[in-house]
Amino acid sequence: MSLQVRSVPADAPEVDALLDAYLDEREATFPSAQGSYSRKRTPAAEFVAPDGTFALAVDTADGTEVPVGCGGLRRIADDGDDVRFEVKHVYVTPGGRGRGVATALMDALEQAARDLGATSVVLDTNDSLVAAGAMYRSRGYQRVEPFNENPNATAWYRKPVR
């Protein structure tokens, strides 16, 4: 795989296709004991500089561009002196998994957060996404108290980036 990660509009057609696949997969695999999955996309306008960005990962190995992942970053309310940006909608296609795509996306999003003036990056996830939780913890994210009311989330994380 030859991977490129770049910023794109969050409502680009290739992003729409990836986010539809992400929401379909989450809905299909959401733990039934937690109720039903709430299908909700963050509005594309929240992923525009200086308050955010949206990243697309493409595999260019065969001379074409095949979208293999995406993720967004948006500014949320500061917590005192802590300028917080939130990672949203990180998704890697089944064919891109285990190939460094999520790492490349998170590298790009964390760098964008620093460039936009963040002092920390936060995110939420569901404990049923074991690999995602392990990746976030390996990157230095630490579990924190909930900072939002996402009905799909069971775990909230924060990482200082300054």
Q: Quote the pLDDT of residue 1.
A: 86
Per-residue pLDDT tens over the stretch 80-129? 999 999 999 999 999 999 999 999 999 999 999 999 999 999 999 999 99
What domains are there in the chain, each with its CATH number? Answer: 3-160 (3.40.630.30)
pTM for the model stands at: 0.96
Closest C-alpha to 110, from 31, 55, 40, 48:
55
Q: What is the 3-state secondary structure (H, E, C) of 6-41?
A: EECCCCCHHHHHHHHHHHHHHHHHCCHHHCCCCCCC
Per-residue pLDDT tens over the stretch 31-75? 999 999 999 999 999 999 999 999 999 999 989 999 999 999 999
Q: Quote the pLDDT of residue 126.
A: 97
Whether residue 158 has pLDDT greater than 90? yes
